[in-house]
């Protein structure tokens, strides 16, 4: 059975869902073209190796939807309805009236009504996003009538207290050095507050760099294993063809069984790679924020100390700011990160850079305004 949730998206969410269907259809066309050009056939591992990066560049689809789509190609063409696959990372039921749905334009919370049940399921994915003939959308969750309540609970999004991650902790530390937070401290403790904040930010920076190193090591290990599976699948395909040509169905069947095992491993591996990539991106974002926060904290400290003593440091960095040890440390850390990850080193805050940032921001504002006007 399929439990049907009829969606009631607003205009923005509807446009995002339509864009997801358009990109998914484009993905299926690309898969057909690549499979024909590379003579891949049903070799999922080889198809993933040749098509995944190209699809991510050509579409806006979430990485998980691309991975699911690689396995969905044959079923998609044979389906009598317009639909795309979903799993727990792409959709969950937040409460009795709202679902959270990942789309080509980000994640949206969308209201829904329970529309009842539809007969039949038999799909390997937990859910489908369906576009009906009347233009409406619904999500169909695969359930069995004897365990409907249990299945619905599984798909519900649980919201326990959020774990204290390095990203959330860095956010609190950076917020703690804002002028408003510092002004709330006792007058004779302001310098001590900022110094303690600097020590905590430096500790968070070290933790973030350690996390990044671990994620990069995991990335290497996962990619190495994927390459091994790809090589084994390529060699296995040739052996299966040879067994078939020699009329050794027993050997061909054994080879196909091994091929299916490798495809199952590849599915799990692809999910792990997607999750690790998100971890790397999150950690890099955290590091950039931490380095920026460290610079801000040192400048706040210099300003507080100068205001209390009435003396100003004559050793100024370009742009007139004090060249404090932590700023230099932040610069060294940024260059180390750039060498390890390929992420460009950020430029220190100077009036010229501030003006450049403002110019870029103004241009982005103008572009977004122009897009909004074109949609009216």
| Domain shared by 170 and 151, yes or no | no
On whether the CB atoms of residues 202 and 326 are closer than 8 A, the answer is yes
DSSP 203-237: HHHHHHHHHHHHHHHHHHHHHHHHHHHHHHHHHHH
User: Does 65 reside within a domain?
Assistant: yes
For residue range 29-80, what is the model confidence (pLDDT) as tens digits?
999 999 889 888 767 777 888 888 899 999 999 988 998 998 888 889 888 8
User: Does 231 reside within a domain?
Assistant: yes
Q: Dihedral sign, CA of 44, 49, 52, 54?
A: negative
| Domain shared by 239 and 329, yes or no | yes
User: Does 98 reside within a domain?
Assistant: yes
| Domain shared by 109 and 238, yes or no | no
User: Does 362 reside within a domain?
Assistant: no
Bridge partners for 111 per DSSP: 8, 98
**Cβ-based neighbours of 312, under 8 Å, separated by 6 or more:** 306, 322
**Cβ-based neighbours of 195, under 8 Å, separated by 6 or more:** 301
Last residue of a domain, one of 99, 126, 155: 155
| Domain shared by 99 and 55, yes or no | yes
Would you say the pTM of this structure is higher than 0.75? no
| Domain shared by 189 and 336, yes or no | yes
User: Does 363 reside within a domain?
Assistant: no
Count structural domains, the chain: 2
For residue range 52-65, what is the model confidence (pLDDT) as tens digits?
889 999 999 998 89
For residue range 243-253, what is the model confidence (pLDDT) as tens digits?
888 888 888 88
| Domain shared by 59 and 97, yes or no | yes
| Domain shared by 51 and 177, yes or no | no
Higher pLDDT, 340 or 268: 268
| Domain shared by 251 and 142, yes or no | no
Bridge partners for 130 per DSSP: 83, 138
- SS3 sequence of 6-49: EEECCHHHHHHHHHHHHHHHHHHHHHHHHHHHHCCCCCHHHHHH
User: Does 356 reside within a domain?
Assistant: no
Last residue of a domain, one of 155, 187, 206: 155
Split at pLDDT 50, 70, 90, the class of 166 is: low
| Domain shared by 282 and 178, yes or no | yes
Judged by DSSP in three states, 123 sits in: coil
Split at pLDDT 50, 70, 90, the class of 112 is: very high
For residue range 219-273, what is the model confidence (pLDDT) as tens digits?
888 888 888 888 888 888 888 888 888 888 888 888 888 888 888 888 788 888 8
- Residue 302 structural domain: 166-345
| Domain shared by 76 and 201, yes or no | no
User: Does 374 reside within a domain?
Assistant: no
User: Does 133 reside within a domain?
Assistant: yes
Q: How far apart are CA 144 and CA 152, in angstroms?
A: 10
| Domain shared by 225 and 289, yes or no | yes
| Domain shared by 192 and 111, yes or no | no
């Amino acid at each position: 059975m399929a439990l049907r949730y009829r969606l009631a998206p607003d205009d923005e969410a509807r446009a995002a869902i339509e864009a997801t269907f358009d990109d998914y259809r484009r993905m299926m066309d690309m898969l057909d073209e690549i499979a024909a050009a590379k003579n891949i056939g049903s070799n999922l591992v080889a198809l993933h190796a040749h098509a995944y990066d190209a699809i991510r560049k050509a579409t806006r689809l979430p990485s998980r939807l691309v991975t699911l789509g690689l396995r969905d190609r044959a079923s998609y063409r044979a389906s009598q309805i317009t639909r795309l696959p979903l799993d727990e990372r792409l959709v969950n039921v937040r409460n009795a009236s709202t679902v959270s749905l990942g789309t080509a334009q980000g994640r949206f919370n969308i209201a829904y009504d329970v529309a009842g049940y539809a007969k039949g399921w038999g799909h390997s994915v937990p859910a489908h996003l369906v576009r009906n003939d009347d233009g409406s959308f619904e999500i169909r969750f695969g359930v069995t009538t004897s365990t409907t309540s249990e299945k619905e609970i599984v798909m519900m999004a649980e919201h326990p207290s959020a774990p204290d991650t390095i990203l959330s902790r860095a956010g609190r530390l950076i917020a703690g050095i804002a002028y408003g937070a510092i002004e709330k401290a006792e007058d004779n403790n302001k310098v001590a507050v900022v110094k303690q904040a600097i020590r905590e930010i430096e500790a968070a920076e070290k933790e973030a760099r350690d996390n990044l190193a671990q994620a990069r090591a995991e990335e290497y290990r996962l990619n190495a294993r994927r390459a091994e599976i790809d090589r084994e699948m390529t060699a296995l395909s040739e052996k299966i063809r040879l067994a078939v040509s020699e009329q050794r169905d027993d050997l061909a069947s054994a080879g196909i069984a091994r091929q299916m095992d490798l495809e199952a491993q590849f599915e799990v591996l692809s999910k792990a790679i997607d999750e690790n990539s998100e971890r790397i991106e999150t950690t890099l974002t955290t590091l950039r924020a931490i380095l920026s926060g460290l610079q801000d904290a040192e400048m706040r400290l210099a300003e507080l100390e100068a205001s209390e003593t009435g003396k100003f440091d004559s050793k100024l960095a370009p742009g007139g700011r004090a060249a404090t040890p932590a700023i230099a440390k932040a610069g060294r850390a940024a260059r180390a990160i750039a060498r390890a990850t390929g992420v460009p080193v950020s430029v220190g805050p100077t009036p010229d850079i501030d003006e450049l940032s403002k110019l870029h921001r103004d241009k982005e504002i103008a572009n977004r305004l122009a897009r909004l006007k074109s949609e009216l």
